[in-house]
């Protein structure tokens, strides 16, 4: 179930609610159903560089360079 951000038109409170897409949002502060869904941002995966390093080390152990860029392959 996804987490959505809402703004209540009654009490001006912002909230994050865990709910299904078709569920009706209810303000946890005042109980109003006059909730406006806010635009969400995608959280970047900050661990991607660390994972890529692990994948490249595995590729090197297995003897192939498919996970390496052209610049990285020059040093092989």
pLDDT on residue 27? 96
pLDDT on residue 24? 93
Least confident of 17-21, 33-37, 51-55: 51-55
Evaluate if residue 65 carries a pLDDT over 80: no
Evaluate if residue 8 carries a pLDDT over 80: yes
DSSP 59: H
Give the Cα separation of 7 and 36 in Å (integer): 5
Question: Length of the chain, please?
Answer: 76
Beta carbons within 10 angstroms of residue 6's beta carbon: 20
């Amino acid at each position: 179930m996804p987490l959505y951000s809402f703004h209540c038109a009654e009490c001006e409170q912002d909230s994050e609610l865990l709910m299904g897409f078709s569920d009706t949002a209810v303000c946890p502060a005042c109980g109003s159903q006059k909730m406006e869904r806010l635009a969400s941002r995608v959280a970047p995966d900050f661990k991607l560089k660390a994972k890529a390093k692990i994948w490249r080390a595995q590729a090197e152990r297995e003897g192939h360079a498919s996970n390496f860029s052209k610049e990285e392959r020059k040093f092989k």
